[in-house]
Structure 1
Amino acid sequence: MNNPDYRREITEAIQAGQEALRCLNDAKSCLSSAGNWGIVDMLGGGMLTTYIKRSKMKDADALVQQARISLKRFQRELMDVDTIPEFHLETGDFLTFADYFFDGIVADWLVQSKINEAKNQVDNAIQRVNYLLSQLRHL
């Protein structure tokens, strides 16, 4: 269709999708870093390693929240998209406490599983946004 309004809407949706993808990739990178520190922590990294891992998790959480905002904008631009998945990097207060004060393999493993779960959710969102962008580019 050569309708200028239609083309503008497609362009706006592509731009919103590209921004969401950038935010998701930033979050993925930060989650990977947190995961790497988590592995070091499970191998006996100590309090400093736990602190660095937690700092990376906090940064990743902020990036995931930013990605969610971008995804909601993308969703608004795509009136025909049903839902955008929700992702959370919430390990809960007990896991934070356990990670620092029990600093054992069980607490570290629980936190690591939450990091991996968040990475999987971000990967799924990246795949979905890439697919939708591909569809938009062919309109």
Structure 2
Amino acid sequence: MYDVRTREIQEAIEAADVALNHLERAKRSLSSASGWGLFDTLGGGFISGLIKHGKMNDAEHEINAAKKALAKFSKELRDVDGYSSVHINGFLTFGDLFCDGFLMDVIVQSQIGKAKKECENAISQVRQIKNELQRMIR
């Protein structure tokens, strides 16, 4: 029989999968933005700057979706015995800068790197909790 506990764990795992999907997509966009940002910093020009900002916008969209998915994951996790909620440490305070010039390019590169690291940390934390949940229903 499929009990309530198993159902609650499955719902939390499904919510984790949605959050991980958005986090992985954000990470890929940030990696791409970083590559274009490096090219832009080294004098890539207007087009490389536009592409970089497009990738940053993609990442920002996925980060916002990930935040919503993490909130749902936290809600589902509260339904599982032994978990009160999930808090992803310092999760993604990524903001876009639309200034140009070498100094601003360097600052933006730093922000992209920080957001990517935060994204990687969030992925690691969600995966760890998901693995714990999966062990609970085996």
Alignment of 1:109 onto 2:106: yes
Amino acid at match of 1:78: L
Gaps of 5+ in 1: none
Q: State the number of aligned residues.
A: 130
Matches of residues 1-139 of structure 1 in structure 2 within 5 Å? 4-79=3-78, 80-85=84-89, 86-91=91-96, 95-97=97-99, 99=100, 103-104=101-102, 106-139=103-136
Aligned identity (percent) is 38
| Aligned-pair Cα RMSD in Å | 1.4
1:96 positional shift? 1.5
Deviations 1:44-93 (A, max 9, x none): 101111111011101110010001111110000111234234312214xx
Larger helix share, 1 or 2: 1
TM-score by length of 1: 0.88
Amino acid at match of 2:72: R
TM-score by length of 2: 0.89
Amino acid at match of 1:28: K
- Contact in 2 for aligned 1:75/1:84 (Cα 8 Å): no
